[in-house]
Structure formats: structure tokens, C-alpha cells
Amino acid sequence: MVYRISLLLLVFVAAATPTASADKQTYIVHMDKAKITALDSMLGDSRKWYEEVMDSITELSTEEEGGEEETSPPQLLYAYETAITGFAAKLSTKQLESLNKVEGFMSAVPDEILSLHTTHSPQFLGLHPWRGLWFAPHFTTDVIIGVIDSGIWPEHVSFHDWGMPPVPSRWKGVCEEGTNFTSSNCNKKLIGAKAFFQGYESKRKKINETEDFRSPRDSLGHGTHTASIAAGNVVPGASLFGMGKGFASGMMYSSRIAVYKACYALGCFASDVLAAIDQAVSDGVDVLSLSLGGPSRPYYSDPVAIASLGAVQKGVVVAFPAGNSGPSDLSVFNSAPWMMTVAASSMDRSFSTIVKLGNGEIFHGASLYSGKSTQQLLLVYNETAGEEGAQLCNGGTLSPDLVKGKIVVCDRGNDSPVERGNAGKGEVVKMAGGAGMLLLNTDEQGEELIADPHILPATSLGASAANSIRKYLTSGNATASIFFKGTAYGNPAPAVAAFSSRGPAFVEAYVIKPDVTAPGVNILAAWPPTVSPSGLQSDKRSVTFNVLSGTSMSCPHVSGIAALLKSVHKDWSPAAIKSALMTTAYTQNNKWAPILDLGFNGSESANPFAYGSGHVDPMRASNPGLIYDITHEDYLNYLCSLKYTPEQMALVSRESFTCPNDTVLQPGDLNYPSFAVVFDSDVLNNSATYRRTVTNVGLPCSTYVVRVQEPEGVSVRVEPNVLKFRHLNQKLSYRVSFVAERESSSSGEAVFGSLSWVFWKYTVRSPIAVTWQQPEEY
């Protein structure tokens, strides 16, 4: 009878028929897993019993509309059962308050909007046909990558199923039909597709099916691009306007793809993303790639972080982008320790331009413009180009009388999305009659060069060139020409992109984030033929491959590599795969110099808050020697060490979890493959000791010796300093003590080092970041 009462109260948040109500808001409701499991055993599928009870009970609410009373039941949008427990519903304030009386109710948070964050990259990553990880005996076809994004263009050659064996029998997903999408659009490559838009439509308006699709079909291009980076077929002769020509391929081109569309023109709503995660885990994906994210917050109030933990608990590797808010510190997104958080960096390929000024100075830039080079033309900028704000080249700021037939100098910025905003400035210049555009980086954007498919002669230029050009403009009658060289190779690479978000994590600093970096600058991958390469409506060009930049592009690189590792090591946990990627990452570029940070002046070495453990190396990751494994209980104990309350722990664990009271827990003891040490800037003698356990996955008999690069002003002691293994899968533990050798440091200061275990060809490296903070900051 107790369950029946709870169920009757619960129907206030369940309804099958949507209604428009101005006082309603969509909420994500967390329920106690144990209570809901008990109800499920009595009544069956959770959504069915929500709807069944809703048939008999509704709540009446009076609304002033034409003087008539109107029934306004709550609207059930989704029931979450696998990666997260609860539901999404559109509720009035009164209905929300009634949830406090429901047995099993834990919390409700408002829905929120999340933002969406290749021919050469496989070779840059050391992946070659018939060699190493792409060698047939290891290259199985039963690994399934789930992509949660803006959908897919299923007819694209990257998703054909030539020569693929039948779909794995364990697959439980479906190919959902909808606008311009039928079950025949799926095949043995694209084995599942489903769209989630209940949350989007409850917050926005019904999707305009002349512009978008209420189906898995992609109208933005973003999802098609990311899916092909992770798992697209090998496609010869791929290019954009003849640039970047070569074999396009996903990181694991033999894997299956399952697409979950949760992102539309106005963004991705958390309720839809949660439904997608829940469905993907239930369907049986091995890896989830989500090139999206929202603002940082404590994990107990972050539904996506909670659902991701549920996915990892089920054995699914979950990869997220670090975000595109760099190069500022504390800007990293998706920082939960169970997430694989990926930064973005450059490759040694560029789409090169040369800008020659009238005074003889020459600068190198980047562009995907496919037309002719310009003659020497007059330059205009800021007040010589239009009214106030003309330096940003926003719509309506340029004067046709001033810019016609001239090259307009524009500052990059004004919160334009990194993937498409720059081409939009070119459109403004072209509509005003400009003959070309120089797009100048700010000092913060440093020396990164984003190549865009401009609709007029245009190029991006780094900060040092930009400052010289601004100075030259003051001389009067300044001129310039732009020469387009096309594709070039041999640049020092990788280098961390300025836009790539930086650590430490705003939520808590006890884990270094991001985890690794991967190619994310000027990435060529699949594209829908109905979407212009620039994303501009005035651009009528149709292409089948496009070049984008962002951590949205680096994330699926790592998702695909994780699938490769899963195919070789089927018994490895998500934490083991993550450990292998991190401990084998490298920190030197192709010129044997430290990886640079392109932000600010572009000449400084990057650090772990920019690239985590370093740049991924798929071949070395397949045989890392040692791994740091983490269980689900380890993650929960970590949250206990952050002083989460029982109520907060229940939200994350989705059930009652009691923190151990007979053990002293500290955040630094999470068995993470990196070391984040937080010292009190007010304390004179800081010290910390952390414990780690490594598992031997290399040679049965092996002896590893520790090698430490100490952070400046911090001594590091490891006990024992030798680990002797006698069989595979043997686990050995060690302790690391960190002692500050200086009296104090200012809050926010950080120093870096590394700890490596070395044996034969194996170097199992972990970065060290020591940060001084005020006590209230952590």
C-alpha cells in the first residue's frame, strides 16, 4: 500500500499528452533507484506505469484564458532507467512542490541548454593500413560507438557498409523512422539511429521541419562530422575544394555506429541528452562520444555527469570535449573523473596563405578560400571601414562607401562559435562590397590559425602578425595582397589550440583536467551535401567533406581510439582504457621540442592544465605496460572524500550509499593516472601523501623503476621506488609524498612535474600539478 500511495503522488509528474502552459518548466527529476526498482517489479516498465496511473488521475489547474477553466496535466517527456534513474517532465510550480511528498523522490533540477563544443589525422596519430592497431587480427568489427550529437547524413559514403559482416547479435537498438529517415537508412555500418527532441520542443517551439528534421537526419553537419571522425569508412580522394586531399578515415573505421540525435539549431537540452545516454547504454554501445557540454558545477547537481557515471558503471567508455573557452584558466568543461576529457591541438598540416603588406612585410596565415589570390589593395579598419564597432565586422557596422573594392581588416571574436563564426564576418564584408578580409587574432588567441571556407578572399593571422598590421595601418594608405598556397605539411606539431579550455577544473582541483589532447584544429571529415561548408545561408556551395576546428573534433578522435583499444583488450574497464591513453601520451612535438601553447604569445610550452597527460598515442596505448584501474566504488569513495552529504551521495550513486567511517579518505587517493596536489597558500609547511595501485598488463616478469621530474619548489618521494611483478594482472601499490620546500606561494600559482615507472620499452608516465589555493577555494 505504501508503494501505491507513492505511485499516486508520482502521477503529478506524468502525462502522455503535451499541453502548452506558460507557468510550466521542464525539470529533470532524480529518483531513488532502489525504490523505483521495487515499483518496476510490481508494475513493469516505468514509463508504462507512469502513463497507466496518469489515465486515472490528473491534476486540474485553472488558467485565465478566455474566461474558461482548462485542464493542465503535467507532461512526461522521458523515463530514465539505465544510466540514470528518474524522468524528465514539464511541471507547474505546484506539481513540482508535490514531488517532495513522493517516496523515492531525491531532487529536481531545471532543464538546461548545452552547447556543441579526416584525411591526415590517422597518419599523424601513427595509424596506418595493415600495420599496428589497423592490422586485421586486432581490427574487429563488433565494437559499437554511440555518437550523441546533431544526427547523421546516412547516405554519405563514410557510412556505407561494404563488406561488413552482420550486426552483432548483442545489439538491442533500433533504426527509428522520422522526417526524411526510414529504417532502410540504417545498415551494417550505421546500425542504429534515434532522435530525442521532447526537451527541446518543450523549451523552444516545435521543430520547423522545413529547416530541420524530427528524425536522426542531420541538418547542421556537426554530428555527421564527428561520427565520421570516430568511425567513418576509408574514403579515397576526400578533400575540401581540392585541399587536404587524401584517404579520409575514422579512427576505428571497422566499428559500428549508433547515432542518437539530441542537438538542434538552438542547442542541446540536457533532458534530451540524458535520454540519449540512457538509451545508448541500454542498446549496448561500447563507447559514447558526446561533443557537447555545459557549465561546470558540483557533480551531484550535474545530470550529465551522473548519467555518465551510470554509463561507466555499465562498462561504457564516455568521452567529452574539454570545451572551447580557452585559453583562460578554470575554463575546462566536463571535468568529472570518470569522463574522458579531451583538449584540442594542431597537426603538422596547414592550409597556408601569404599576406604581403605594402611596406614589404610578409606574414603567413590560414584559409580554405578556393578562389584566386588578390592584387595589392587598400586596407581599411575600424573607423576607416565604418561606424563604431566596425573592427569586429559585425552586421551593419561597415560602410559600403568606405570598404568597396578594399581589403577589410577585422578582429576575431565577439563570441562567435569557433566552428563557423569567422566565415560570418567575411559574409558581412562581402555584402558591404569588400574585396577581401584579413582576420586578426587578439593577443589572447595567440598564434593559432583557424582555416575557414570563406566566401571571399580572406585569411586568418596570428597575434604577432595582427599587431604588426595594426601598427602599419596607422601609417595611412596601407595596402596588402593575399596569396592562397593550399595544403602544406611540416609545421611543428602538435600545439595546443588557444580556444581549447584549460584547467584546473572550476568544480574541484583534485584531478588534472583535461585528461589528454588530440587533433582538433582544421579537421577534414564527412559533411551533409545540403549544408554549406560555411554554414551561411548565402553560401550555396555543396560539399561532402568539410573542415572544422574545436574540441568537438578532438573528442571523437579519442572515442575512436578508445574503441580500437576495446577491440584489442575486450576485458579492460573504461578506467583501464583511459589510463592507457593517459600514461602513454607524449609531451614533445614532431621537432622533439616541448608541445607549445598557441594561446597568448604562442611561444610558451604547454602544461598539464592545457593538455592533461599529453597528446594521445594509439599504438603505445595498446600496450601500456601498467594501468591504473578504478572501480565504481572508488569513484563514490572519492566523492565521499569531497565531503558530499548522504543526500548528495544518493543523487550521484542513484541509491543509498554509506561513506566508510573507518577509513580516512582523501581526494588525492583516487587511483587516477595523474597527480593533482592542492596546497594551502596560507600554510608555511605543506605536504601530502597519496596512494596508487598499478596493474601489470605488459610482460609477466617485469621490474619497473620510478623516475621523477619534481615540480619547482616541491620534493617528491616514492615508496617503494621499484615495483617487481611476477605475473600478468598482478597489482602492486606505492605511495607518493609531496613536500613544499618553500614557505608559501600566492593563491592560484601552479607548478608541474611528472612521475614515471620505467621498464624496457615501457614508460608509464603521470603528470603532477601542484596548486596553491586559499582554503575556501577548494
Mean pLDDT calculated for residue range 730-751: 88
> What is the rounded average pLDDT of the residues 664-688?
92
Specify the pLDDT at position 741: 87
pLDDT of amino acid 97: 78
How many CB atoms neighbour CB 433 within 10 A?
Answer: 16
Name the more confident of 105 and 606: 606
Average pLDDT over residues 205-221: 92
Res. 18: pLDDT tops 70: no
Contact 615, 585 (CB under 8 A): yes
Kindly tell me if the per-residue pLDDT of 126 is higher than 90.
Answer: no
**Residue 107 contacts residue 30 (beta carbons within 8 Å):** yes
Residue 501 Cα to chain centre, angstroms: 10
SS3 assignment, position 306: helix
587 Cβ neighbours under 8 A, 6+ residues apart: 594, 595, 606, 611, 614, 615
Whether 552 sits among the annotated catalytic residues: the reply is yes
Structure confidence at residue 518 as a pLDDT band (50, 70, 90) = very high
* Band of pLDDT at residue 44, cut at 50, 70 and 90: low
Mean pLDDT, rounded, for 688-715 = 97
At what angle are helices 2-10 and 33-43 packed, to 10 degrees?
A: 100
CB 231 within 8 A of CB 304: no
Kindly state the average pLDDT of the residues 90-118: 80
Residue 280 and residue 288 in contact, taking contact as beta carbons nearer than 8 Å: yes
Indicate whether 441 pLDDT > 60. Answer: yes
Reply yes or no on whether 222 is catalytic.
Answer: yes
What pLDDT was estimated at residue 743? 67
SS (H, E, C) 311-328: HHHCCCEEEEECCCCCCC
Helix, strand, coil percentages in the chain from 3-state DSSP, rounded to 5: 25, 30, 45
- Any idea which residue has 588530440 for its cell? 518
Q: Is the pLDDT of residue 65 over 60?
A: no
Per-residue exposure over 575-614, b if at least 16 CB sit within 10 Å of its own CB, e if not: bbbbbbbbbbbbbebeeeeebbbbbbebeeebbbbbbbbb
DSSP state for residue 469 in the 8-state scheme:
H
Answer whether residue 376 shows pLDDT above 80.
yes
Concatenated DSSP letters for 7-21?
HHHHGGG--SS----
CA 741, chain centre distance (Å): 37
Residue where the block lists cell 568543461? 333
The pLDDT tens digits for 545-595 are 999 999 999 999 999 999 999 999 999 999 999 999 999 999 999 999 999
CA-to-CA distance for 376 and 407, rounded, in angstroms?
9
- Reported as a pLDDT band with limits 50, 70 and 90, residue 212 is very high
Whole-angstrom Cα distance, residue 701 to residue 724? 8
Options 120, 222, 454, 615, the catalytic residue = 222
Q: What is the pLDDT of residue 41?
A: 59
Q: Highest mean pLDDT range out of 140-149, 292-301, 303-312? A: 303-312
Instruction: Decide: residue 207, CB within 10 A, 0-12 exposed, 13-18 middle, 19+ buried.
Output: buried
DSSP state of 168: P
Query: What mean pLDDT value characterizes the chain?
Result: 89
Tell me what pLDDT residue 130 has.
Answer: 57
Among 130-134, 399-403, 430-434, 520-524, name the one with the lowest average pLDDT.
130-134
Q: Is the pLDDT of residue 464 over 50?
A: yes
Q: Which of 32, 149, 515, 617 is catalytic?
A: 149
